Amino acid sequence: MSVRPLVRDPPHNLEAEQGLLGAILVNNRAYEQAGEYLAADQFADPVHGRIFEACGRLIERGQIANPVTLKPLFDQDEALKEIGGAQYLVRLAASVVTVINAEDYG
């Protein structure tokens, strides 16, 4: 009888990740809140981590991170193309109800 090692996936919530990214795309100040304790490699979905990281790079340079400014960065990203390309960024931003809870999503 072989014993399989106990491997557990860390807890994750893709809807919360999407909510946080949408909040950041609508109001970049949400990145300031979440960026204090959240890193790109902590996202369950690696594409979400890359979006978060790209937002951070733009924001830290004093630029605006939104679907329009991020589009050129992701035009050639195959993983993003698989989930809808730049339109996915637009859907994230459009789905935001409020940015008040952005820190909670992180």
CATH superfamily of 14-98: DNAb Helicase; Chain A (1.10.860.10)
Q: pLDDT tens for residues 7-58? A: 556 557 899 899 999 999 999 999 998 988 899 999 999 999 999 999 999 9
Above 60 in pLDDT, residue 67? yes
DSSP per position, 54-82 = HHHHHHHTT---SHHHHHHHHTT-HHHHH
